[in-house]
Amino acid sequence: MVKTNVGVIFGGVSTEHEVSRSSAVHVLKSLDKNRFSFTLFEISKAGELYVYDYSGHDIESICSKLQDINNDLPKKKEVFSTELVSKYSLDVIFPVIHGTGGEDGVLQGLLELFDIPYVGTGVAGSAVAFDKVFTKEILTVRGIRQAAYVVLTSDELRYDITEKIRNAENRLEYPIFVKPANGGSSVGIFKAKNRDELIKSVFKAAKYDRKIILEESIKGRELECAVIGGYTGARALGVGEIIPCNEFYDYAAKYIDEKSKVVVPAQIPPETSSKIMSEAVLAFEALDSHGLARIDFFLGEDGEIYLNEINTMPGFTQISMYPKLWRHAGGSDIDLMSELIDLAIERKSSYKFLKDYTKND
Ligand SMILES: Nc1ncnc2c1ncn2[C@@H]1O[C@H](COP(=O)(O)OP(=O)(O)OP(=O)(O)O)[C@@H](O)[C@H]1O
Ligand SMILES: [Mg+2]
């Protein structure tokens, strides 16, 4: 059987570079080697592209080396070009890059230009899901409950913002979460307990993005739902709970302190779980997601469900929430990778549209 060659791209310029390496290792270990061969591409923290030569190494050795950013596997610098696709006989790309430059539509745009199928959400869906303001605006129209918010821009910060801060205070109670609209890993996110902290936080958050979102704090539990599927017929796999070891799930609670807990399945009533799963699928469809997404919610002390965000390339390591929920739903790691790759190939063959308007008769 001719194997499908999967170009696995990992690393990237975001704070989640190391997580991406672990996610890629999980993908490689779980690829069905009877169906797929693979070519390994790394994007360095500086944004350079490398292709690995792993000949002579078995999968265990490749994976243990890849985890290490300074590994000694031979790699060659490459340039992003359409020729790459034929040069390495790539059939499909699995971009396992989280955050900026990987999950925000930028890499997806490049892959569209290469005209090759790729795993995960397309350009617009990725960009919109990555932008917390656009996500709010689109999902509000669809009737999905989210925390109340106010938007500021770095342009507005050049002038007196007293009026803007008062306006935010009229609409939101302290503590107020301050976040860059485009970001991840909780970088640049602050929980402001009073006006002084709010103003400082807004200026700090503005170092990461032009748009800053101020959001009411939801007291309650953090729940995450995994969704898989194409543009139609997507299904939710289940709901897990995050129990952060800090006051909120900040960068340290996510990656440094190992005391945060991931509970699968979340210990919540079945009707709450069903409601979250159907809202997750609704949001997945509303944002044109494809392949996979992890959709995060708060279960407020008021009993209401609030959607927090959509991650179109969620943490994908062996111990990440998404694969955990997949396994809990009864699937094997091998089946997960195969289904995601099949979905990517199927999207490319199912959605072909006329490019030449003169031929439409
Ligand atoms: N409105 C809110 N109410 C309560 N807690 C919040 C709120 N917004 C954010 N948090 C806390 O801050 C954490 C990070 O926020 P959020 O998930 O929006 O940011 P992120 O950096 O995009 O995350 P990710 O790395 O998952 O993409 C949440 O997991 C939660 O602990
Ligand atoms: Mg989050």
Q: What is the pLDDT of residues 2-43, one digit of tens each?
A: 999 999 999 999 989 999 999 999 999 999 999 999 999 999
Tokens of 17: 């570079």
Report the chain's mean pLDDT, rounded to a whole number: 95
Please state the atom number of ligand 1 nearest to the C-alpha of residue 16: 25
Residue span(s) of the chain under CATH 3.30.1490.20 come to 148-216
> Stretch 136-146: mean pLDDT, rounded?
97
Q: Residue 185: CB within 6 Å of ligand 1?
A: yes
Contact between residue 23 and residue 317 where contact means Cβ atoms under 8 Å apart: yes
Q: Residue 215: CB within 6 Å of ligand 1?
A: yes
Contact between residue 98 and residue 23 where contact means Cβ atoms under 8 Å apart: yes
> Stretch 91-118: mean pLDDT, rounded?
97
Residue span(s) of the chain under CATH 3.30.470.20 come to 219-312
Nearest to 315 by CA among 298, 294, 336: 294
pLDDT at 268: 98
pLDDT digits (tens, 9 = 90+) for 179-199: 999 987 888 999 999 999 999
Sheet strands (E) in 91-208: 92-96, 149-153, 176-180, 190-192
pLDDT at 352: 87
pLDDT at 252: 82
pTM for this predicted structure: 0.96
Q: Which CATH architecture has domain 219-312?
A: 2-Layer Sandwich (3.30)
Tracing tokens 């950013």 back to the chain, one arrives at 69
- Distance from C-alpha of 265 to C-alpha of 242, rounded to nearest angstrom: 10
Task: Report CA(214)–ligand 1 centroid distance (Å).
Answer: 12
- Distance from C-alpha of 303 to C-alpha of 294, rounded to nearest angstrom: 21
Residue span(s) of the chain under CATH 3.40.50.20 come to 4-120
Tokens of 260: 């945060």
Tracing tokens 């989280």 back to the chain, one arrives at 98
**Neighbouring C-beta atoms of residue 254, cutoff 10 Å:** 21
Q: Which CATH architecture has domain 4-120?
A: 3-Layer(aba) Sandwich (3.40)
> Does 3.30.1490.20 match the CATH number of domain 148-216?
yes
Please state the atom number of ligand 1 nearest to the C-alpha of residue 254: 25
Tokens of 121: 């959400």
Task: Report CA(81)–ligand 1 centroid distance (Å).
Answer: 36
Of all protein residues, the one whose alpha carbon is nearest to atom 22 of ligand 1 is 184
Q: Residue 184: CB within 6 Å of ligand 1?
A: yes
For residue 341, pLDDT beyond 80: yes
